[in-house]
Amino acid sequence: MKHWKALWTSLCALALIVGLAGQAPASGVQQELASESTIEQVMKRGVLKIGFSTFLPWAMKDKTGKFIGFEIDVATRLATDMGVKPEFVPTKWSGIIPALLTGKFDVIIGGMSIRPERNLKVNFTIPYDYAGQSIVAHKEKAAGFKSLADFNKPEVIIAARLGATPATAAKKYMPLAQLKLFDDESQAIQELLNGRVHAVVASAPMPAEQAIKNPDKLFLPLNGTFTKEPIGFAVRKSDYDTLNYFDNWIRVVEAEGWLAERKTYWFETRDWEDQIK
């Protein structure tokens, strides 16, 4: 009799353990389902917080201190379509992904190239734009330079933005050159104007604009860009509802022709220059 009681007690204990083990995953799923997506939080808050970094003509300040540019238009339209207000959070590029992950803003809309190493940390939407890298060089220090090979030498110094795609492109295409990194593109350009570097690598059209602005000191050694990179919004991992909404929003405004219209205005005209001068 004692033997059967002991066996029954053991079976009950085993059933309890199995039952608890079976409930653990369900509990985790329930917790995950109960957590709110970024979209839900934004709708409740009434504000979409956008992380970005300033660089012309994606995002910059006008004469009054207001942010304007291609990315500002995109983020503002997105917030308007959601029925919420945009809140812009300017952030240094080198720390923009960590800031997203710690919740300082809801999304990065800042000309961020979709790259595998970044995709390990964040999720990207489908591309809403494409960018390319270009070079602006110092007329005296880089006299006679006409190709990437001319810059790919140990004595050549290239400046680029810290943590951004131009730095990656410079390392890939000009690995022998010395690379100086700056938090802001304006610092890199000033270094070039002062003759302390041979060239600056940056996303088009900035190099061309600097060459036009400073014809006595700078020039474009290459025609066009030497890379092509897809650009997407960046969101936190596992937030699939938010990713789905942003993807479909991009599809809609792209089909409307609105994205192409804004890209043309900011990148192919100078109708906006009087707002910043």
* pLDDT for the residue 276: 85
Q: Specify the number of domains making up the chain.
A: 2
93 and 210 in a single domain? The answer is: no
Q: Residue 1: inside a domain, yes or no?
A: no
Q: 117 vs 22, which has greater pLDDT?
A: 117
Average pLDDT over residues 44-56: 94
Q: Residue 18: inside a domain, yes or no?
A: no
Which residues, in sequence order, are bridge partners of residue 107?
Answer: 50
> pTM value?
0.74
* pLDDT for the residue 2: 45
Q: Residue 33: inside a domain, yes or no?
A: no
Q: 21 vs 51, which has greater pLDDT?
A: 51
Range of the domain at 181: 133-219
Quote the tokens at residue 94: 């080198």
Q: Are strands 157-161 and 199-203 parallel, antiparallel or unpaired?
A: parallel
43 and 122 in a single domain? The answer is: yes
Q: Count other C-beta atoms under 10 Å from residue 260's C-beta.
A: 12
pLDDT at 106 over 60: yes
pLDDT at 26 over 50: no
54 and 125 in a single domain? The answer is: yes
- Answer for the pair 159, 180: CB distance below 8 angstroms, yes or no: yes
List the CATH number of the domain containing 243: 3.40.190.10
188 and 263 in a single domain? The answer is: no
126 and 42 in a single domain? The answer is: yes
Q: Count other C-beta atoms under 10 Å from residue 271's C-beta.
A: 9
| Geometric angle at alpha carbon 160, from 157 and 164, rounded to 5° | 145
* pLDDT for the residue 271: 87
Q: Residue 178: inside a domain, yes or no?
A: yes
Domain boundary among 219, 249, 267: 219
pLDDT in tens, 143-170: 999 999 999 999 999 999 888 888 999 9
* pLDDT for the residue 23: 43
192 and 235 in a single domain? The answer is: no
Indicate the pLDDT class of residue 203, thresholds 50, 70 and 90. Answer: confident
| Geometric angle at alpha carbon 59, from 54 and 61, rounded to 5° | 85
pLDDT at 58 over 80: yes
Dist. CA 109–CA 88, nearest whole Å: 10
103 and 237 in a single domain? The answer is: yes
Burial class (CB in 10 A: 0-12, 13-18, 19+), 229: buried
CA 44 centroid distance within chain: 25
245 and 123 in a single domain? The answer is: yes
Q: In this structure, what are the phi and psi dihedrals at residue 228, rounded to the nearest 5 degrees?
A: -135, 125
Domain boundary among 177, 199, 219: 219
Average pLDDT over residues 72-99: 96
Domain boundary among 172, 193, 219: 219
Q: Residue 6: inside a domain, yes or no?
A: no
Among 33, 242, 217, 250, CA closest to 123: 242
- Answer for the pair 249, 81: CB distance below 8 angstroms, yes or no: yes
pLDDT in tens, 62-82: 999 999 999 999 999 999 999
Average pLDDT, the chain: 87
